[in-house]
Amino acid sequence: MSAVTTAFGAWGALLARDLRAFLRSRSQLSSSLAFPLMLLAVIGVGVSEGLEPERVRDGDYVTFLAPGVIVMTALFSSTFSSASFYQDRDSGMLRVFLVSPHPPAVILAGKSLGAIVIGSAQALAILAVAAAVPAIDLQWQYGVAPSLLLALAAVLLLNVLLSGLAQVLASRIRTMQGFHLVMNLVLFPLLFFSGAFFPLDDLPGWLYGLALVDPLTYAVDLLQLSLYAEDGSGHLGAGVDLAVLGGLAIALYGWGLRRRPTTE
């Protein structure tokens, strides 16, 4: 049996294990979908009807918010799923995995697949709900199929990037509480600066500069171009978004796989 076949077998086993654990956790499954939908409904409708925003197309803040909520769903889901690293470490399973014949990078890649698949699936579930709600006016500016492919690319690249970041942090932070604290400390500001909740054009220069160094900005921008925007004006561009997201995803994921995890 070749090394590639063996690695794929290990990845499949680890992925199936994490998916079974996720599906058995009804609270995580329901809350990770209910919260973004509630945010989309309550805040989106509240701002559209209560504040009548003029900075978004036709004052329709619900539709503007949809791409940002998809990114937020991937963000939270990937973070929670990555915490299984600590559960396996504390139960001793991580030590068992690492003494198997597979290299540590193969084990870490298999562990990360669960977070990537779960985060992507939940983000795409929010997209499916948004597309099915008549009050949310998605534009699909490149056509439905090409726009959907771009949205899928944005979600997958974002989850790979987040999985790599989580692995880098998990290899240095010894407690699950510390991991969640640092992830929240890092990810919440990134989400706020990304343009998920307000348009980036015509922002003050210092705030726009922070947005440009925020990797989530490029995921939000690509989803807005795919789903919300009528044209490319005021956006960074799909090519720029894909290049930055792809480059950062490869760099962070590769860095995460090279980190030797602690087993104690």
**pLDDT surpasses 90 at 158:** yes
Residue 17 CA to residue 10 CA, distance in Å, equals: 11
Mean pLDDT of 139-166: 91
Mean predicted confidence (pLDDT) in 232-254: 89
- Whether the per-residue pLDDT at 157 is higher than 90: the answer is yes
CA distance 44 to 37: 10
When pLDDT is averaged across residues 97-103 and rounded to a whole number, the result is: 69
More confident residue, 202 or 167: 167
End-to-end Cα separation, the chain, in angstroms = 33
For residue 23, pLDDT beyond 60? yes
Given a cut of 70, whether residue 155 has pLDDT beyond it is yes
Give me the pLDDT at residue 107, please.
Answer: 73
Please say whether the beta carbons of 218 and 245 come within 8 A. Answer: yes
Residues 180/78, Cβ–Cβ less than 8 Å: no
The CB density around residue 38, as the number of other CB atoms within 10 Å, is: 12
CA-nearest of 179, 251, 180, 184 to 215 is 251
pTM for this prediction:
0.80
Q: Taking residues 208-226, what's their average pLDDT?
A: 91
